[in-house]
Structure 1
Amino acid sequence: MSWLSNTDPAHRSFPAHGSSVVTSLLLSRGRIISASDDHSIHVYSLLSGELLHSLEGHESGVWANAAKGDTLVSGSSDRTVRVWDLATGKCTHVFGGHTSTVRCVAIVTPEWVDVEDENGAVTKEKWPKRSVIVSGSRDHSMHVWALPQPNDEEYKSIVPEYEDEEDDVTGNPYHLLHLTGHENAVRALAAQGRVVVSGSYDNTVRVWDIVTGECKWMLTGHKKKVYSVALDLARRQAYSGSMDDTVRIWDIQNGQCKHTLTGHTSLVGLLGLSSSHLVSASADANICIWDPDTGELRHKLTGLLSAVTCFQHDDSKVLSGSDGVLRMWSVRDGTAVRDLLTGQMGVWQVAFNGRWCVAASSRNDQTMLHIWDFGVDGDEMHGEETEDGNDDAK
């Protein structure tokens, strides 16, 4: 109620990353984790805004982060995947193997999933058997790595000097699979259970088995580059957004396109999925809320003046960044509720979890981080965790 009411939340802001762009923003266990094209990752206290750690080691811009407990995984233009201990700020592992920018990473944790046999009988199986990292790159491929555990021995690859030289991953005990087949950059990925979905600039979406490395389906139909994907194991569906202005809903059991969603007039660069809503954001300055079962357009959020640069949503609200404004919308009726930020040069990232909201923006050539507390006395400070201990921020 406090999110969607007129109550003013507690708000603080502070400078971060100089004037550089914040490329990734996470909330995890009372921490704000911000990555930047200035090569660094900063870890702040959510409660005080204090800088806890500056994670140094990447030699180029950092484009993707994923967190689980006290472990952070990052991907960079320096072609490496790095694993960090968030409690100490130390880099414990460096994985080479990609020959170009690592554009997306995901941590996949074991969970019970439905498995249907050839006779239609459904049983429960737990996949993957241990947590893994999936990384996607502009080198057209993905790698799958075992996620190091807190007491595992450190491992640091020696990255080749030249981009066209591939690091030998055969000596890396954490390397599991190299997924090849895309003919252009892997721009986005989503993973759950033993399924990975990847979207590429080759106009295709691929569905992979994370255990065997098999490409189960190559989903064709988009006319231009694919920029965003989402995975929905409960509905056995995948979703993709493309430069061809459409969103597609795919059946991952048979590889067929179930629905082509038309409502945008420019690149669909962002997709989000909650239990009952699919949300897409576009360079046409509009946000669409869809029924993920039927593909029906429920609401079109209009009134922004430029491309949507970031958003996050749940079943009650959408927060979006665009044209220097951070705006909150109601999912129920598609109306604008309030502007949390105005007068910014740009809003780069937004993330929320429970009572907390964090955003990164640019103001007067200075990058700023903002924290809002929508809680009331007695609320927990941190976001709750799922049964297997995974942060909501994953």
Structure 2
Amino acid sequence: MKATLILANGSVFSGTSIGSTSDRICEMVFNTSMTGYQEILTDPSYAGQGIVMSYPLIGNYGVNSVDNESGRPWAEAFVVRHLSPMGSNFRCEDTLDSYLKKHNITGIEGVDTRALTKILRSQGSMNGMITCAEHFNVAEIMEKLKAYRVEGTVERVSRKEPEDCPAYGEEKYKVAMMDYGVKQNMIECLRRRGCHVTVFPATTPAETVLSGGFDGVMLSNGPGDPADNVGIIAEVKKLYESNIPLFAVCLGHQLMALATGAKTGRLAYGHRGGNHPVRDLEAKRVFITSQNHGYMVLADSVDPAVAEVSHINVNDGTCEGLRYKRPNCFTTQFHPEASPGPQDTEYLFDRFIASMGGDK
């Protein structure tokens, strides 16, 4: 079946329908990862967005039941150059096309994703619509695209009730994880280090967390504009003002910055992929990182009496991490848990363990 992608700038791409045939409007973003499409689809940070995979062959190893980063896919749409009709891997349980259909994700293949990525990179991420209709009114679609906005996503992707995740092996620490759209491997990285992780809904009051006897708190990744989360920011400020060790990633990093008086801004086209170089200023080393964000902390808005920039993006110089003057508090914009992507920066979990007292 024919499918068409219409962008908010008027560009039109024709291709073949994959996944669901429902019309879908979303914010179109691109990801440069060569593998890990299942982890990408199930990353809650993609809620409200359609993903353009810049690598041309997707789906070649199929999907399985263990690589999910959350209980379901959150991406609205999926755009590829070529979708492999079968998965060739000993872990393969189904094809990617069947997976998209099962979860009602609208997709299109046969698109020149190189040209599409160049548009999004030069003009910025923009809204788009995928439709399988033979005839459509472009002017009407443009009005719908103009009106669409990604909002209310943190509450949508977060757990509704607390969930306990026991440590693997001997329990050494109790960690509270604030679920703004947490990826499963972030929890797993802590469990493998002897942490019993209690995952809390995004809107949980700080008092509930601080009275729970936890050794440390993590603020997770998540979707959308960080400045929209006014109530959550107020609770993060209370956590910051306590003495509990804190480690925040991606959206959590941005929320912490906003809670301490800094500002955030929108990136033109975001950082999404598993090949982003980041310089650790203290270690004087560059690490290749996994990233997925469309907003950034504005480095010049950070009060030097509160925090200092600890990591910068080698490509564009944007802030990728903050080290706070308050003891045992640091944050990163990139994803140390990867999935997909390199595991170079898992050392930050060890730093968090050390902030809680080190190995027991």
Higher relative contact order (CA 8 A, sep 6+): 2
More strand by share: 1
More helix by share: 2
Shared fold (TM-score, shorter chain, > 0.5):
no
